[in-house]
Structure formats: C-alpha cells, structure tokens
Amino acid sequence: MDTPLCFGCGKAAQDDFILCGQYLCPECELEMIKTDMANPKYQEWLKLWREFWDKLPSESEENEDI
C-alpha cells in the first residue's frame, strides 16, 4: 500500500493519524488551526479541505456494494 501524503504540504505520513485514507501532518494541522479567517491562507485551507472531501466516496457509492 502506498504511504499517504499530507494534503497540505505533500509530506509522507509517518506513524500519524490517517483519516479516510488521507493525511494531514501535524505541522499543517497546527498551521491550519492558527490561521485567522482574515489571512489569505485561510482560503487556501478551505480549498484543500474541499478537495479532501471530494476524494471521499459518496454515500450512494458506498451503498452500491450492499
């Protein structure tokens, strides 16, 4: 199995938390939490999270195997 890459910076996962096959490294997690909504980086984080959720299977796709 391929090692997941952080969807914030592209760094390979170590022994960190992987959610739904995707990964956010501790450094990016901290940066994201500290980013104020007035900071232009905030919009970048929103875009990355939208891409994260778009990669997840939809509920209808999950039910196709039932």
Per-residue confidence of the chain (66 residues) as pLDDT tens digits? 577 888 889 988 887 778 787 888 999 989 999 999 999 999 999 999 898 888 887 765 555 555
Q: How far apart are CA 53 and CA 7, in angstroms?
A: 11
pTM: 0.69
CB 29 within 8 A of CB 49: no
